[in-house]
Structure 1
Amino acid sequence: MKKTGYEHENLKVTPWFHWGLNVEDAREFFFVTGQCDFDKNGVTKCMNDPVGQTRVILEQIEQTYTQAGYKRNNIIGINWCVTKGVTEEQTAEILAVWAEFIKDVEVKPAGGIWKRIEGLIHPNMLVELELTLGR
């Protein structure tokens, strides 16, 4: 699979994603459904901490896609969902966590929609992420 990222002359270049992404010769796709910091026992590791929740979610997501033989370089898209209580400062920190997570990814994925919503399915959840991977 070959990925080519594209920027836009009127939009800021970011370390988080490309404004456009062309994917060639992908034969398989892997969709990681929305995940939150909320385990099978209903435990949230990082209560009231959206940045910590993001770290936990990325660890969980990586455990999920590696089971199918995918790697970080296979990430082609991300969708974000945060609750309205997540501040602009915390948003910047969440993006810094994501930038660190993909720092060694040669071609950054396409950024999906960043949704700021009233709440997720459980009040402890502040962040939900989903990824699309291809190879």
Structure 2
Amino acid sequence: MQNFLEYSGFTLDDIIRTDWAFTNDVDSAQFGQIATVWEEFLSDVEVKPARGTLRYVQRLGMPDMMVEYEMIIAR
């Protein structure tokens, strides 16, 4: 994700909101792990992005996918 941001001329500081979609297969332990990874990923960001929407869905666009995120990025 960071490579994509840099390639596009943005940084982690430009993320202003993130929305998440989890399938019902994501359990509470996995949710905690995802939250920890996201927190570590943003650890050096001075102003954290606004909390977005978290949706639970039956399935996502690809059958094996369990997590999808959408970021809004701006300067």
1:116 maps to 2:56: yes
Corresponding residue SS for 1:78: strand
| Mapped partners of 2:15, 2:61: distance in 1 | 26
> Radius of gyration: which is bigger?
1
For residue 45 of structure 2, what is the amino acid of its counterpart? V
* TM-score, structure 2 normalization: 0.92
For residue 114 of structure 1, what is the amino acid of its counterpart? L
Matching residue of 1:89: 29
Give the deviation of 1:81 after TM superposition. 0.7
Give the deviation of 1:85 after TM superposition. 0.5
Larger helix share, 1 or 2: 2
> Any gaps of 5 or more consecutive residues in structure 2?
none
Structure of higher RCO (CA pairs closer than 8 Å, 6+ residues apart): 2
Structure 1 residue ranges (4+ consecutive) displaced by more than 3 angstroms after TM superposition: none
Instruction: Note the aligned Cα RMSD (angstroms).
Output: 1.0
1:131 maps to 2:54: no
* Aligned residue pairs, count: 75
1:62 maps to 2:2: yes
